Amino acid sequence: MHVPAAAVNADVVQAKAQSLRYVVLLAAATAISGFLFGFDTAVINGVLLLLRLQFALSNLQTEIAASSLLLGCLLGAAGASMIGDRHGRRKSLIASALLFALSSVGAALATTVMLFSVARLVGGLAIGLKHAGFHPEFLYEKDPVAQGTLRANRLTASTPPDWEVHKGDVTKVDWTGFSSPVRLLAGGVPCQPFSLAGNHLAQRDGRNQFPALIRAVHALRPQAILIENVYGLLRSDFARYFEYVLRALSAPSVVPRKQESWQGHNRRLKAKERSRG
């Protein structure tokens, strides 16, 4: 199938512009969430008056006591990657839990503002360690060579991987067996059906795995989804299908029916959107 060069270039420019807007939106949301994170983890306004009376604090001492947790968050998040690389994510989470316990006991038993501030600083370190980064637990791969690579991957030469590599086709995995919450579902959906250098068959290409992704999201209900693909996915020719994918991912309660086409599922998703007003 021949695609005119001018049309391809226009699609690439449009895809890059859309991608840039999306990245800016993500960066803005991350920045705002950073303020909210600090607000949610360091609000002690309800006890500031009692704190000042208990320790006879000046304004400066009160501010130090209140902000020490945020300083701990900053240090904990900054050092989380180094600790994870050296000791593994599991051990860093155990350390985070111990720091949480130490912080709680220390803040409750503090007899001076210095001890109280140190206890809050330790609590901030625990929060930073806990919330920085993601830890992969289950990896699924069909290709034997890629499976070997996943099993050999490690953070350092002396640290073996602590994730599980499962052999098999993701279209046949029973996701209902997972009982623990899933923070992040990440995957590389094959790009060939949407690539500018491919056959441009999109949903009609047998390698299209977006239905498998949608099925996993419906079953696992992850807190976040990270999918890698190509600019070609944003081409105008694929706009309807891409909009359907986004709609399906945003409404996991509307499960695709057996043998239902994506158009039929899309109509039900649109009907649900209209019913919500």
What is the mean pLDDT of the segment spanning 150-167? Answer: 71
Judge contact between 69 and 123, C-beta under 8 A. yes
If pLDDT is split at 50, 70 and 90, which confidence band does 98 have?
Answer: confident
On the question of pLDDT at 100 being above 50, the answer is yes
Task: Tell me the per-residue pLDDT of 230-255, one tens digit each, with 9 for 90 and over.
Answer: 888 888 889 999 999 999 998 988 99
Residue spans per domain, the chain: 43-131, 169-275
Nearest CA among 228, 222, 215 for reference residue 255: 215
Q: Which contacts (CB < 8 Å, 24+ apart) does range 34-40 have?
A: 37/73, 37/131, 38/70, 38/73
Give the span between the Cα atoms of 89 and 66, in whole angstroms: 29
Asked if pLDDT for residue 16 goes beyond 70, the answer is: no
**Residue 13 pLDDT > 50:** yes
Given this model, what pLDDT does residue 2 score?
Answer: 45
Q: What is the mean pLDDT of residues 163-179?
A: 85
With a cut of 80, say whether residue 17 has pLDDT above it.
Answer: no
User: Which class in CATH covers the domain with range 169-275?
Assistant: alpha beta
The residue that leads in pLDDT, 203 or 39, is 203
Output the pLDDT for position 197: 80
Amino acid at 157: A
pLDDT, position 72:
82
Alpha helical stretches, state H, 110-209: 113-131, 144-152
The pLDDT, as a whole number, for residue 210 is 93
Tokens of 179: 């009982």
pLDDT at 9: 53
pLDDT mean over 55-67: 83
Helix (H) or strand (E) holding 275: helix 262-275
Q: What average pLDDT does range 67-94 have in this prediction? A: 75
Could you give the CA distance from residue 4 to residue 248 in angstroms, rounded to a whole number? Answer: 32
Task: Please state which of the ranges 16-20, 167-171, 217-221, 224-228 shows the lowest mean pLDDT.
Answer: 16-20
Spatial distance between the Cα atoms of 178 and 206, rounded to a whole number of angstroms = 27
pLDDT, tens digit, for every residue of 204-221?
998 899 999 999 999 999
Indicate whether 7 pLDDT > 70. no
Ramachandran class of 88: left when φ > 0, alpha when ψ lies in -120 to 50, beta otherwise? left
3-state SS, one letter per residue, for 2-50: CCCHHHHHHHHHHHHHHHHHHHHHHHHHHHHHHHHHHHHHHCCHHHHHH
